[in-house]
Amino acid sequence: MNISLAQSESRLGWKLMAPSVAVIVLLIIYPIVYNIYLSFFDVKLTGAKVFIGITNYERLITDTAFYSSLLTTAIYLAGTVMGTTVVGLLVALLMNLQFPLRNAVRTLILLPYFAPVIAVVFGWQFIFDPVNGIYNHMVVDVLQLTAKRHNLIGQPKTALFVVIIFDIWKHFPISYLLILAKLQSINKERYEAAAIDGCGPIARFFYITLPELYFVLGTVVILRLIWNLNKFEDVFLLAPNVQTLPVFTYYTAFTGIIDQGLAASISVIQFLFLSFLIFFYVKKVLKW
């Protein structure tokens, strides 16, 4: 009787899980498997596919544009991940202090993160507009630091740094929120005891605050790496000439040569790197 009941409960459990499993297979597993499959083909505009083995991967090894995209992505990741983490930490430390209207300020800090991407992108494009933008007006007309106006977004090298600054401004609030939540959970008596022992603010930060923030900071860094490696809309909308891996993949698949097989192979390489980051996050940060 007990065995029959256990089997019935097991079947019920699988039936309840079936819709979720079907959605995961349809929306996640199938696209990944099909993308890997597509990377071994030369995909024609007519939709026909010709099997070419690892030729797409061999082409990437000798493709200077691919290596340029990797370098751009590395700079973008280093700047945005370090920037959002450091700015989020500094703002969280400030917002952990007592001052008038603290709750209102804490709320306002979150606005960039929740603002629609398309709206803030247009705002930033206006700021750096070479003719009517606020940036050139301040630098050239007001401060007179240079006599020539510069189109920072129009030039790939400078556009990359504009995109990095934009990403830091847009996404530091989530880092700040996670760090602030942890700061508020630290026992205040530890700080009081350290102050009595003669530890100054800097010593208390390095010996009490920073060790307590290890897990949160590790989580922020790894998650920002994962999210920003996949970031497309922010970069493409603000400065489409900045070719990070997702943007480079888009151009390869849908513009110019329109080589979807080659684009699929780029996505596979990106997926492998993402899988490594997720594995590292699970093992080293979550310690599962």
Q: What is the pLDDT of residue 41?
A: 87
| Beta carbons of 171 and 256 less than 8 angstroms apart | no
In a domain, 20, yes or no: no
Distance CA(254)–CA(41), nearest Å, equals: 16
Nearest to 89 by CA among 183, 200, 165: 183
In a domain, 52, yes or no: no
Query: CA of 268: how far to CAs of 19, 51, 68, 140, 168, in Å?
Result: 27, 17, 18, 46, 27
Distance CA(88)–CA(92), nearest Å, equals: 6
Distance CA(264)–CA(270), nearest Å, equals: 10
pLDDT (tens place) for every residue of the chain, 288 residues total: 456 666 676 777 777 777 777 777 777 788 888 888 988 988 876 667 888 888 899 999 888 999 999 999 999 999 999 999 999 999 999 998 888 888 899 989 999 998 899 889 999 998 988 888 888 888 888 887 888 888 889 888 899 999 999 999 999 999 999 999 999 888 888 888 888 878 888 888 888 888 889 889 988 998 899 899 989 999 999 999 999 999 999 998 888 777 888 888 999 999 888 888 888 877 776 676
In a domain, 29, yes or no: no
Distance CA(29)–CA(17), nearest Å, equals: 16
Instruction: Count how many Cα atoms sit within 13 Å of the Cα of residue 152 in the half-sphere of its side chain.
Output: 20
In a domain, 221, yes or no: yes
Instruction: Count how many Cα atoms sit within 13 Å of the Cα of residue 82 in the half-sphere of its side chain.
Output: 7
Distance CA(276)–CA(91), nearest Å, equals: 30
| Beta carbons of 134 and 127 less than 8 angstroms apart | yes
In a domain, 36, yes or no: no
Neighbours of 55 (CB within 10 A): 16
Alpha helices in 197-285 (DSSP H): 201-204, 210-212, 214-229, 233-238, 245-254, 260-280
Q: What is the CATH number of the domain that holds 124?
A: 1.10.3720.10
In a domain, 50, yes or no: no
Provide the residue range defining the domain that includes 69: 65-285
In a domain, 160, yes or no: yes
| Beta carbons of 234 and 166 less than 8 angstroms apart | yes
Cα Rg of the chain, angstroms? 25
Distance CA(122)–CA(108), nearest Å, equals: 20
**Total domains present in the chain:** 1
Q: Which helix (H) or strand (E) holds 89?
A: helix 64-95
In a domain, 250, yes or no: yes
Residue 30's Cα: distance from chain center in Å? 24
Query: pTM higher than 0.75 for the full model?
Result: yes
Distance CA(136)–CA(133), nearest Å, equals: 6
